[in-house]
Amino acid sequence: MSKKAVVLLSGGLDSATTLVLAQSEGYSCYALSFDYGQRNRTELQAAENIAKRYQVEHKVLRIDLDGIGGSALTDDSIDVPQQLEEGIPVTYVPARNTVFLSLALGWAEVLEADDIFIGVNAVDYSGYPDCRPAFIEAFEQMANLATKAASEGRTIHIRTPLINLSKGQIIEQGMVHRLDYGMTVSCYAADANGAACGTCDSCRLRSKGFVDAGFDDPTRYQQT
Amino acid sequence: MSKKAVVLLSGGLDSATTLVLAQSEGYSCYALSFDYGQRNRTELQAAENIAKRYQVEHKVLRIDLDGIGGSALTDDSIDVPQQLEEGIPVTYVPARNTVFLSLALGWAEVLEADDIFIGVNAVDYSGYPDCRPAFIEAFEQMANLATKAASEGRTIHIRTPLINLSKGQIIEQGMVHRLDYGMTVSCYAADANGAACGTCDSCRLRSKGFVDAGFDDPTRYQQT
């Protein structure tokens, strides 16, 4: 039986790349998505399509991050910015990766999986504190004290294959495994069909990534 | 303005004691409960009653721990044991305190609260890995790398006033502040009115606590 891994799958470019990289290492993958009141609902549909394409079990957990508020990605009263910001963006969701990794840890324990893959990236999103290597290391240390599995001698590894890659390098990695990036949605303001705005932070980073990697951008953009 | 704290409030004896201890230190408290598919639904009602009595804002977040499974407290296919077990009990919920503290961390960040109180106890529940001081310290370290607040110089403290107390000592602390323990529910198998079974692990520990502390037990037990 192949070794198991939980893979956080948002439906975006980074997490889809992470999934194909985990599969290429021989893991039997269990994809985990969250319905946390995000405005971008088409991301979840993309996650479902990707999980189906790669024939992995897919769980969508509903959590109330919208009940906590504080981010432009969940709070209708905060505008999604159209320009790259200085410092930590308003699209930062409080403690998001901590919450996601915690739930992944619970599922990993039930599945007896020792690896959790997350597509965080410290290069293009250096504004997010919970995308930094120091955070990931601290989470891993905590995780190895948190669980019954850990007290029984198993070791959890938080795997971040994209953490030091540029967007262009991430795309190059995915293309090695023939990932169809047209299935992924990155836009903060995608329409109901998953078509991207082309102007938000996330669209610009993505578009630049395809240019840097030297591949055609398969993103469907909204007709204006 | 008084300093703010998020207090995890399950509706049980320990968390109610933690709430009154936090208030006695002068914190303006924000109580956080979770609806995680627990069989014991009356605990949530107890949490609501306690929050009302102590006039604190109370948020109940729904999370899908039942979707993950693996515990007698959420999974109908696992029996709740009637005797104290060796090792880690089947009532252990995978990564529960990690998930709860993570969501508390998110709310604390939005509230600009620097303290999170949790009524974990390493004495009577030493079987639970996520109740040990080493886990709490590791979580605190991780939390201080996880958030925007932390990168802006704020420090999060995970406060565990009960961690080294016996059940009897916990009750003594609560009684100093005239906590009405009749409002709290500890039983794993309480009935719809919050009456306790009197025989599960949790009932026995609680009952012994009142004996040890030398107070009458105000628990309502089921009529048999």
For residue range B23-37, list pLDDT tens digits in order. Answer: 999 999 999 999 887
Beta bridge partners of B35: B62
pLDDT for res A160: 98
Task: Specify the range with the lowest mean pLDDT, choosing from A42-51, B9-18, B47-56, B148-157.
Answer: B148-157
- In sequence order, what are the residues at sequence separation of 6 or more whose Cβ sits closer than 8 angstroms to the Cβ of residue B141? A138, A141, A142
pLDDT mean across residues, chain B: 87
Mean pLDDT of B87-94: 61
Note whether B125 contacts A: Cβ–Cβ < 8 A: no
Select the more confidently predicted residue: A125 or A12. Answer: A12
Please write the tens of the pLDDT for every residue from B105-158: 999 988 899 999 999 998 866 578 888 999 999 999 999 999 887 778 889 999
Instruction: Work out the angle at residue B33's Cα, subtended by the Cα atoms of residues B136 and A76, and round it to the nearest 5 degrees.
Output: 105
Which chain B residue is nearest to residue A134, measuring alpha carbons? B145
Is the distance from CB of B104 to CB of A100 less than 8 angstroms? no
pLDDT for res B82: 54
Chain B residues closer than 8 Å to A145 by CB: 129-130, 132, 134-135, 138
- CB count within 10 Å of CB B57 equals 13
Note whether A111 contacts B: Cβ–Cβ < 8 A: no
Asked if B96 and A106 come within 8 Å (Cβ–Cβ), the reply is yes
Asked if A130 and B146 come within 8 Å (Cβ–Cβ), the reply is yes
Most A-contacting residue of B97, B99, B100 (CB-CB within 10 A), to test interface: B99
Most B-contacting residue of A99, A141, A158 (CB-CB within 10 A), to test interface: A99
DSSP helix/strand/coil, A178? coil
Is the distance from CB of B201 to CB of B83 less than 8 angstroms? yes
Domains in chain A: boundaries: 4-213
How far apart (Å, rounded) are the C-alpha atoms in residues B101 and B96? 9
How far apart (Å, rounded) are the C-alpha atoms in residues A129 and B147? 6
Instruction: Work out the angle at residue B97's Cα, subtended by the Cα atoms of residues B94 and B101, and round it to the nearest 5 degrees.
Output: 135
Is the predicted pLDDT of residue A82 greater than 60, yes or no?
A: no
- In sequence order, what are the residues at sequence separation of 6 or more whose Cβ sits closer than 8 angstroms to the Cβ of residue B155? B114, B144
Mean pLDDT of B4-21: 97
Asked if A106 and B68 come within 8 Å (Cβ–Cβ), the reply is yes
Mean pLDDT of A39-53: 90
pLDDT for res A37: 74
pLDDT for res A114: 95
**Which of these, A160, A51, A156, lies nearest to A109 by C-alpha position?**
A156
Q: In what order do the strands lie in the sheet with A4-8?
A: A57-62, A28-35, A4-8, A115-117, A157-159
Positive or negative, the CA dihedral A180, A185, A191, A196 is negative
User: pTM for the full model?
Assistant: 0.89
How far apart (Å, rounded) are the C-alpha atoms in residues B128 and B126? 5
pLDDT for res A91: 57
How far apart (Å, rounded) are the C-alpha atoms in residues B76 and A186? 39
Mean pLDDT of A3-31: 97
Q: Which of A103, A141, A147 sits opposite B129 (nearest CB)?
A: A147
Most A-contacting residue of B114, B151, B154 (CB-CB within 10 A), to test interface: B151
Q: Where does chain A show beta strands of DSSP type E?
A: 4-8, 28-35, 57-62, 115-117, 157-159
How far apart (Å, rounded) are the C-alpha atoms in residues A12 and B194? 45
Chain A residues closer than 8 Å to B63 by CB: 61-64, 103
Task: Please count the residue pairs, one from chain A and one from chain B, whose beta carbons lie less than 8 angstroms apart.
Answer: 147
Positive or negative, the CA dihedral B100, B106, B109, B112 is negative
Query: Tell me, what's the ipTM?
Result: 0.88
Q: Which of A64, A107, A151 sits opposite B62 (nearest CB)?
A: A64
pLDDT for res B124: 66
Asked if A62 and B62 come within 8 Å (Cβ–Cβ), the reply is yes
- Tell which CATH architecture fits domain A4-213: 3-Layer(aba) Sandwich (3.40)
Asked if A95 and B105 come within 8 Å (Cβ–Cβ), the reply is yes
Note whether A107 contacts B: Cβ–Cβ < 8 A: yes
pLDDT mean across residues, chain A: 87
Which chain A residue is nearest to residue B135, measuring alpha carbons? A145
How far apart (Å, rounded) are the C-alpha atoms in residues B156 and B35? 25
Chain A residues closer than 8 Å to B92 by CB: 148
* DSSP result, chain B: -PPEEEEE--SSHHHHHHHHHHHHTT-EEEEEEEESS-S-THHHHHHHHHHHHTT-EEEEEEB-HHHH---TTT-TTSPPPSSPPSSS-TTPPTTHHHHHHHHHHHHHHHHT--EEE----SSTTTT-GGGSHHHHHHHHHHHHHH-HHHHTT---EEE-TTTT--HHHHHHHHHHTT--GGG----TT--TT--B-S-SHHHHHHHHHHHHHT----PPBPP-
> To the nearest whole angstrom, how far is the Cα of B128 from the nearest Cα of chain A?
7
Select the more confidently predicted residue: B88 or A68. Answer: A68
Select the more confidently predicted residue: A80 or A51. Answer: A51
> To the nearest whole angstrom, how far is the Cα of A90 from the nearest Cα of chain B?
10
pLDDT for res B96: 87
Note whether A85 contacts B: Cβ–Cβ < 8 A: no
Calculate the CA dihedral of residues B153, A99, B28, B115 and round it to 10 degrees: -40
Please write the tens of the pLDDT for every residue from A115-171: 999 999 988 665 788 889 999 999 999 999 998 877 788 899 999 999 999 999 999
Is the predicted pLDDT of residue B204 greater than 70, yes or no?
A: yes
Q: Which of A64, A106, A110 sits opposite B99 (nearest CB)?
A: A106
Is the predicted pLDDT of residue B80 greater than 70, yes or no?
A: no
CA distances from B94 to A3, A59, A65, B110 (A): 20, 16, 20, 26
pLDDT for res A126: 59
CATH class in words for B4-180: alpha beta
Which chain B residue is nearest to residue A96, measuring alpha carbons? B106
Split at pLDDT 50, 70, 90, the class of A9 is very high
pLDDT for res B1: 66
Is the predicted pLDDT of residue A88 greater than 60, yes or no?
A: no
How far apart (Å, rounded) are the C-alpha atoms in residues B73 and B43? 12
Beta bridge partners of A116: A6, A158
Chain B residues closer than 8 Å to A150 by CB: 129
Is the distance from CB of B132 to CB of B122 less than 8 angstroms? yes
pLDDT for res A173: 97
Is the distance from CB of B140 to CB of B183 less than 8 angstroms? no
Please write the tens of the pLDDT for every residue from A66-77: 677 665 556 556
pLDDT for res B108: 92
Return the amino acid letter for A224: T
Please write the tens of the pLDDT for every residue from B165-199: 999 999 999 999 999 999 999 988 888 888 999 99
Chain B residues closer than 8 Å to A97 by CB: 146
- CB count within 10 Å of CB A76 equals 9
